[in-house]
Structure 1
Amino acid sequence: MTISSPDAGEPPYDIFICYAWDDSKQLADELHQALTEVGLNVFQDEPSMDDWDEMAPEIRAALLSSRTLLPLVSPGFPRSPHCRQEVHLALDCAFRLGRTDRVMAVTSGVRPDDIRPSELSRYRTPRQGRSARELAVGIAERVRALAAEDDRTFGDAPLPSSPDWFPEHLPGGRHFHGRHAELWEIHEGLRAMDKARNMGHPVVSVSGVGGQGKTALCAQYARLFALDHSGGVFLVRLSGSDRRVRASPDAVRAQFTEGLRAIGLKLELTADELGSDRLPGALRTRLKNLAQPYLWIVDDIPSGFDAELLPELCAPTGNGRTLLTTRGRFTKGVSAEIVLGGLDPHDGLSLLTGHRPPAARAETRAARLLTELLHGHPLGLTLAAGLTTQDDFEGYAELYRQLATPDPEDDLLELVQYLRAELPAGYARPFAATMLRSFRGLTDAGRDVLSAVGVLAAEPVPLTLLDEIIAGSGAPGGPARVADGLAHAVRHGLAELTESTDLTELTDGPDDTPDSRACAVHPLVARATRVLNPPPTRRKLRDAAVVALTQALSATRHSFTHRAVARSLPHVRAVTGLLAGTDQWSIGADERYLLDEAGRAYEQLGDGEASLRLYAPLAEACEEAPECDEYTRLVVRLHLASAHFRYGQFSAARSLQEDVVPRMRALLGPAARETLTAQDNLANTLGALGQHEASRLLHTEVYRALRDGTGPTDADTLRVLGNLVIAVGRCGDTDATRRRMRLTAVRYARGAHVLWRRAAKAKGPKSWEALGALDIMNTLGKNLLALGKKDEARDAFRTVWEGRRAVLGEHHPDTLDAWENTIIAEEGLS
């Protein structure tokens, strides 16, 4: 029977018959004849290709021109790569057309529980000894009923829509191959609440060793099945892939809370809602109000995490569906567990030969042997595929020989020993050989890029940071060289670009969003790169990273340019030795300064918890370092207190400040700026604890000292004056005294605003003085609102909101706080 698709103008096929030649050819022929006799237009796929060939274009065209697929599911059906491809394509299109009953399986000799993907069992027709003519009558009735309701073909399916990601999308997808059944198993598992037999919260766990594509599978599911989660995709990354990462509940909870906060920022929660005590409840309310299903991905849970605590990590509301990834196993608390092994041989071969198809059957056999050597490991096959793009590639047979029997001069021992703890038995040596050849096959620029990424955290790396690190290490730098090296690493499968990155825009991209251009490297590749690089090389790159990060963060002292460096902040912990799974560097003066700058930046970005996570170990390191002087210890403790304050831990902040103030006074004197700053911080904390009169008196003392010492228009004097205005507006124990104090606060605020405006005019619209003017305007608005002057308060809050949005960005907690105040004032007016 000749393979052909309908000519233009001809009707589409009613049915596409899909079957395994070995055990269903006779039934396929009989059904084709019977279905044709009852008036249907039928296409029968005649397998005439090797199992390792891709789907022929004419077969694909015929399938897309069909209304339904009729898979003849037999014992040999799952072994046919062509059948799996046709079923996946049809199911994917049917899903996007809104009716998966377009795929109607006829089963013979298989149990329902053994059918994969399980979606095929939903609309199956067991043969049960019936003749082809009997089967054809029932099938024709269903096909005609479907066509009467919806006569579209598979090719009419819309392209998958892109889901909304919070806080950001998962990178990957470029090298994704196969896993068709697993994608539908996730879909089935996450429909647990739709089944009468299982009304529990749907939770699916995807497990497997490093490099098996757990994260990529979740990202692919999120993209292909976007209709399943119209409310969006919410992602929390726990970085538990390294065996040295702590799985203690407290450590996991801390990182989980940090992930929740990132989601809250993207959802534009207010500053109060982002506080640690209110964040879970605020998120639950916002997610429940979506009134749509959403996907909740928790990626990379440490393998030793207690399964009894899994509910703490799951979607917080009933309209959420949870998808977990881990190297461990969760047999409790999940509605389905998917354990990933190697890729199917056909899919593995397709991944390996994607860049360079084999030129002859002997080469195909060698490529199949190479797929088996790498155990179908997706990351290993991706790296091996990259090797086929090199100029010295001599064919798959030679590549197999090189990887199966590596040159004795290639010192693989250290890398193999490391990978044995990361990969199953038998995987480590071929993967190590592949990784070594991939790394050595890079250009100098490519190795520089990969090596620089290796000393950083397993997070997207801004390309501007890469450029600065490479140049700082003494290697030739420049955006063009970084772009070339990164492009080479991407072609070799060693790196990926984030979705917002285009290498052609590297040298001429927008100046205000440099962090939007970034790359990502698989954690296993990054850790292997660290093993391949000798300690002096890693040290040189790490030192350059410390300098680059410090310079970028120090620049935020002069103006609010934090958004330009926000994506670099996660790497601070890696280069200071505070991140598990990276080199354990000692904390010296340079590292302490960087941590101090990063903590300040996190605090000013509104991320009090991240600030606290940096300052706590920094303070501990300062106490233990004999070369650290008393002044540095006190400044760090003062910053740690500020982090506690920002995070809402006022008692902890007060305890530290009450320790620092007398020590600072004894060291520097009562009139020193640092001493007065410590006292002013303590006054803020007293106010937060409700001791408003004590706060006002201490603020007044500090303000007078600064005014008389540095002058009334000094920035620190004006900052303390703003704090004093806040304290004055909160004082009073009766209605009359409270009103009098608020009127006084309004008068102070108007005067302070004039002084701030003058200072801001000289320093620029994005200066700290400009932010100070907005802060005092915000205080003015709050006092006006408390006095019942709602129209004036509304105008003040709107001015603050517009100004902060221009400087801090729309999602900064202070901007959101100003917007909330504006709404409150406007609602009061209405």
Structure 2
Amino acid sequence: MTAPYDIFLSFTWADTVEVTALQDALEKAGLRVFRDKDIHRFEGITERLDAALAESKVLLAYYSRRFPTRYACQWELTSAFLAAQRHGDPRRRVLVVNPESDGNHIAPVELEDAAYAARPKNDRERTLVVDRIAELVRAAAAPLGAVRSTAPVLPRLLRPRRFVGRYRQLWAIHSALHARELPATTPRTSAALAVVRGFAGLGKTSLAEQYAFLFRDAFPGGVRWLGLFGQDDPVGALARFHEHVRAIAADLGADVGDLPPEQVRDVVARRIEAAREPQLWIIDDVPSELQAEVLDQLVMPTSFVRTVLTTRSGNPDWPAPVVDLTGLSEDEGSVLYTEIAGSDDPGELAAVRRLVERCGGHPIVLTSVVTAYRDRRGATGFAEALGSVPETPVAALRQAVGACGPTARRILRIAAAISRAPVPPELVERVLPGEPIADAVAELARRALLTHLGGEWDVHALVRDAAGLDDDLTRKAASAVLEPAGGTGHRHQHAAALAAHDCVPAGQRTRLLRIGLDWFRGQGDVVAARAAAKRILTVDAGPADRVAAAAALVDAGDFETAVEVCRPLLDSGDAFRARLTCARALDQLGRFAEADPIWPEPPPDGENADARVFMAVAKRMRGRFREALDLLDAADPNPWARIELARLKLVFGDVKEARTITEAILREHDTPDHERHPVRLEAIGVHAEAEMSLELTEFKARDQNFDTLEAHLRSVRDELTGLLGPESPLTLVAGVRCARTSVTRGRPKRALREFAELAPLVDRVFGDRHPLHHWMSYSAAQAHAQLKQYATGAGILRSLLERQRESIGPHHPDTMMTQLDLGISLMLTGDKTAAVPLVAEAERRIGQSLGWRSELRNRAGVTRLLMNLPVLVWQLFPHLDTLFGKKSPEED
């Protein structure tokens, strides 16, 4: 191995003369200088160059205006700066000689602010510069070394691309992502987030790719690329983000199964946090109209992920620094031409500069036009040909597309018909059988109208727009996506885009939309599924598709619309699913009398387990517990069926069996990735109810799992508020459950404050006959009882009892529980005469309905026996609060 170099000299070939004089002066001073004499223009970085930089103590950049336009110079300076940061102040290891009159072209900002050396005008000034450099070399105790990430490099970052200049923007991104680590002169930001903003075709994606490639060593955890195609379908952008995150979870080895999207995101964040290696996430093509609160969902909740967003215009409310892109400068356009055409002929460069001025330096126009005309380089009329190019991007690209062969043009028109996601080759092959596709793709790539992205093809949105549509090709593409063997990449996205074309037959449009609906429901994304469902309902869909859409609406809490959709279909060919979905929605609205004649009986053979669970829940809500039990089996692999079975076991007083069932489910989900799995959390809730049921006899608090459960409930409420709004039925249900938890935890004042906020919304959305309103009233009465406000609680329970007798009937266990608590409250107000018959009747009816060994009947029996005691003794009874659901006293 050779001895380390003192100086790595970085420069452009345009500055050779002055750099040679500087090198001679450095070597005369006894400094060992590495200067590469072999690499030219856009050649790659050699191992020799990489090793020499790592072995050098400092990097000296001769930073002319052309310096940042060269890839080799960008790589050398960036690598040296990242390595120098490990040794302290990078400005003592990365040195600059600036031959220009100002420093506006210098990046990063740390070097711009540094006291760089001006171009030496004579030997005396050159000696002063050399002396200063020698002083810094002597102060450097060791070579720069190398900072190399071992993470695999994304294939898209390795593909050839025409990228020139924009070094200041690259460093602006890096500074924004690492603001907290930079000197005090750099503005701080609240998150490791940067937004790259610019019009279509200005090179936002290319800039993000170049940043990810050039700065990859700053991210040992690797780079992730998440394409949202937000301009194509803004509503689906968040859904596509969650798709990417689910794929990342699988790549990390996480068991996310049927976890909903928000929880998959949390699992991935915890995995990254545990690895403690910074990652870079590029989220490409974010819709500009995305609200700030939705944008928050794109930022991973961990400090180990730095995020770059690209967007066309952006939202001013986004809390992130913005890097704006404009067109290429004349210098950058000239460098791009030289790279493509391999020429630096002054006449040709002058023509290119005029084109840059006319088209505003639009990179995609320059790339496609220069590529198309490069074979005419040197021929008479080259300058005139460039002068005739249209100024607007679409017009210029339309001219370039028109020059392509027929198969190439058809490929672009297929790309225009499908989504902005990459084009799957197998789809094109099915639409264009027997055509010379490989030759056409090679032609498009040569003309810079298509790039290879792994095994797929990427066609820019402007190129697709310029190509236009062909109705016949669009219909053929729709048929190809619908083929049973048509499992192409991004299939649901392409299906949704094709369904938007009027030329596609109505029947096919419905089937295309159904692909997306089924995909999103399978992913547990209720918001995206609701959007897909509403699209299906706007076309002439058949009964099965309309019922599937209604089921998605029920998942999202849009119960009224689901009922409207299903009512006309109750006697259709899909009658069972229509009745099941309609009855479920009516039950959720508390309209049990309407739902009763609609509920299907019995479920057909082969109907999935979900249907049996839905029907068991309906029967439990009506107090028909034994019928509900008959629908369930303890050996059912469906965990939701077993959770419902555990609930029923509690109703019948079989606490031990309920605990056994829920503990088995908890063991099945006892992994870090399932910490917030819906099944696990629901099992925790039922298990907690079983624990609470022992308190009446054991009089001791069991706090195990309650903190986890309450934190989950409040997190779910907040997530639903953000996704569906504060008045969504699902949001209100979650809110009431949170408030009821406050009662259980012995925080009555907090509970009453929460109930007061929820009451107007619940009343407006559900009405006072809905079970949710019943539970809110019942829990509010419990809270007042915990505060010794027995008369107030009795008034609430008396009104509730009347409503329950009218809506769910006098023999329903919920009605009996209200009656029992009303009797207790009246006893504590001193009205024993009214209390005793209420408790006695409640005990009798509960025993008849649930059995004489049920937990609620036992509670009623204990209460009836206590009725024989004087009122004064009741008021002194030490464990009275347990009768009102108070688990343990806590601070409000």
TM-score, normalization by structure 2: 0.61
| Structure-1 residue corresponding to 2:142 | 149
RMSD value, Cα: 5.3
Q: After the TM superposition, which residues 108-123 of structure 1 pair with which residues of structure 2 at under 5 Å, given as runs?
A: 115-121=106-112
Secondary structure class of the residue paired with 2:574: helix
Closer, same or farther: CA 212–78 of 1 in aligned 2, 3 Å? farther
2:64 to 71, 78, 97: 78
For 1:83 and 1:355, the matched residues in 2 are separated by 14
Alignment of 1:384 with 2:341, yes or no, is no
| Structure-2 residue corresponding to 1:539 | 471
Secondary structure class of the residue paired with 1:89: helix
> Does the aligned pair in 1 maintain the 2:475–2:504 contact within 8 Å?
no
| Structure-2 residue corresponding to 1:420 | none
| Structure-1 residue corresponding to 2:556 | 649
| Structure-1 residue corresponding to 2:409 | 447
Closer, same or farther: CA 69–292 of 1 in aligned 2, 3 Å? closer
| Structure-2 residue corresponding to 1:638 | 547
| Structure-2 residue corresponding to 1:680 | 580
| Structure-1 residue corresponding to 2:175 | 188
Structure number with greater CO (CA < 8 Å, separation at least 6) is 1
For 1:279 and 1:313, the matched residues in 2 are separated by 13
Question: What per-residue deviation string (whole Å, max 9, x for no partner) do you get for residues 444-464 of structure 1?
Answer: 322221121111121112222
> Does the aligned pair in 1 maintain the 2:409–2:467 contact within 8 Å?
no
Closer, same or farther: CA 696–385 of 1 in aligned 2, 3 Å? farther
2:7 to 1, 8, 15: 15
- Residue identity in the other structure for 2:547: L
Question: What per-residue deviation string (whole Å, max 9, x for no partner) do you get for residues 175-233 of structure 1?
Answer: 33333332222112322222435332244332233211111111221232234344555
Q: After the TM superposition, which residues 424-439 of structure 1 pair with which residues of structure 2 at under 5 Å, given as runs?
A: 427-428=391-392, 431=393, 434-439=396-401
Closer, same or farther: CA 327–720 of 1 in aligned 2, 3 Å? closer
2:418 to 444, 453, 456: 456
Secondary structure class of the residue paired with 2:202: coil
> Does the aligned pair in 1 maintain the 2:287–2:314 contact within 8 Å?
no
> Does the aligned pair in 2 maintain the 1:160–1:225 contact within 8 Å?
no
| Structure-2 residue corresponding to 1:340 | 325
Which consecutive residues of structure 1, in runs of 5 or more, have no partner in the other structure?
A: 1-8, 246-250, 407-415, 417-426, 502-517, 556-560, 578-582, 623-631, 707-716, 754-774, 802-810
> Does the aligned pair in 1 maintain the 2:201–2:362 contact within 8 Å?
yes
For 1:325 and 1:570, the matched residues in 2 are separated by 20
Secondary structure class of the residue paired with 1:205: strand
> Does the aligned pair in 1 maintain the 2:431–2:480 contact within 8 Å?
yes
Closer, same or farther: CA 527–387 of 1 in aligned 2, 3 Å? same
| Structure-1 residue corresponding to 2:446 | 491
Alignment of 1:664 with 2:569, yes or no, is yes
| Structure-1 residue corresponding to 2:660 | 788
> Does the aligned pair in 2 maintain the 1:352–1:385 contact within 8 Å?
yes
| Structure-1 residue corresponding to 2:201 | 211
| Structure-1 residue corresponding to 2:461 | 523
For 2:29 and 2:597, the matched residues in 1 are separated by 95
| Structure-1 residue corresponding to 2:76 | 90
Q: After the TM superposition, which residues 192-591 of structure 1 pair with which residues of structure 2 at under 5 Å, given as runs?
A: 192-195=179-182, 196-197=184-185, 198-201=187-190, 202-231=192-221, 233=223, 237=227, 239=229, 241=231, 255-256=237-238, 258-260=240-242, 262-264=244-246, 266-267=248-249, 270=256, 274=260, 291-302=276-287, 316-328=301-313, 336-345=321-330, 347-354=332-339, 356-358=341-343, 375-387=360-372, 393=376, 395=378, 398-405=381-388, 427-428=391-392, 431=393, 434-471=396-433, 476-477=434-435, 481-499=436-454, 501=455, 518-530=456-468, 538-552=470-484, 564-565=487-488, 567-577=490-500, 588-591=506-509
> Does the aligned pair in 2 maintain the 1:229–1:295 contact within 8 Å?
yes
- Residue identity in the other structure for 2:465: R
Closer, same or farther: CA 174–292 of 1 in aligned 2, 3 Å? same
For 1:525 and 1:255, the matched residues in 2 are separated by 21
For 1:297 and 1:63, the matched residues in 2 are separated by 26
> Does the aligned pair in 2 maintain the 1:352–1:384 contact within 8 Å?
no
Report deviation, 1:265.
5.5
Which consecutive residues of structure 2, in runs of 5 or more, have no partner in the other structure?
A: 647-656, 687-703, 706-892
Q: After the TM superposition, which residues 802-821 of structure 1 pair with which residues of structure 2 at under 5 Å, given as runs?
A: none
> Does the aligned pair in 1 maintain the 2:59–2:95 contact within 8 Å?
yes
- Residue identity in the other structure for 1:216: S
> Does the aligned pair in 2 maintain the 1:235–1:299 contact within 8 Å?
yes
For 1:209 and 1:71, the matched residues in 2 are separated by 36
Closer, same or farther: CA 789–609 of 1 in aligned 2, 3 Å? closer
For 1:229 and 1:549, the matched residues in 2 are separated by 38
> Does the aligned pair in 1 maintain the 2:12–2:73 contact within 8 Å?
no
Closer, same or farther: CA 776–733 of 1 in aligned 2, 3 Å? closer
Closer, same or farther: CA 331–615 of 1 in aligned 2, 3 Å? closer
Closer, same or farther: CA 118–743 of 1 in aligned 2, 3 Å? same
| Structure-2 residue corresponding to 1:770 | none
Closer, same or farther: CA 572–314 of 1 in aligned 2, 3 Å? same
| Structure-2 residue corresponding to 1:619 | 537
> Does the aligned pair in 1 maintain the 2:193–2:308 contact within 8 Å?
yes
Secondary structure class of the residue paired with 2:6: strand
Secondary structure class of the residue paired with 1:497: strand
Report deviation, 1:287.
6.5
| Structure-1 residue corresponding to 2:95 | 104
> Does the aligned pair in 2 maintain the 1:13–1:65 contact within 8 Å?
yes
- Residue identity in the other structure for 1:489: L
Report deviation, 1:236.
5.5
Question: What per-residue deviation string (whole Å, max 9, x for no partner) do you get for residues 761-795 of structure 1?
Answer: xxxxxxxxxxxxxx658846985894516897699
Closer, same or farther: CA 296–779 of 1 in aligned 2, 3 Å? same
- Residue identity in the other structure for 1:614: A
- Residue identity in the other structure for 2:611: N
Report deviation, 1:281.
6.8
| Structure-1 residue corresponding to 2:838 | none
For 1:335 and 1:462, the matched residues in 2 are separated by 34
Q: After the TM superposition, which residues 667-746 of structure 1 pair with which residues of structure 2 at under 5 Å, given as runs?
A: 667-668=571-572, 674-682=574-582, 701-703=601-603, 706=604, 717-719=605-607, 723-724=611-612, 727-728=615-616
- Residue identity in the other structure for 2:188: M
- Residue identity in the other structure for 1:574: A
- Residue identity in the other structure for 1:93: S
- Residue identity in the other structure for 1:255: A
- Residue identity in the other structure for 2:142: E
Secondary structure class of the residue paired with 1:323: strand
- Residue identity in the other structure for 2:366: L
For 2:335 and 2:520, the matched residues in 1 are separated by 45
> Does the aligned pair in 1 maintain the 2:283–2:308 contact within 8 Å?
yes
| Structure-2 residue corresponding to 1:807 | none
> Does the aligned pair in 2 maintain the 1:18–1:69 contact within 8 Å?
no
- Residue identity in the other structure for 2:367: T
Report deviation, 1:569.
1.2
> Does the aligned pair in 2 maintain the 1:303–1:327 contact within 8 Å?
yes
Question: What per-residue deviation string (whole Å, max 9, x for no partner) do you get for residues 527-572 of structure 1?
Answer: 1111xx6xxxx111111122222334xx7xxxxx9xx346111122
173-182 or 346-355, which moves further after superposition? 346-355
> Does the aligned pair in 1 maintain the 2:98–2:116 contact within 8 Å?
yes
Report deviation, 1:237.
4.7
For 1:691 and 1:823, the matched residues in 2 are separated by 29
> Does the aligned pair in 1 maintain the 2:566–2:578 contact within 8 Å?
yes
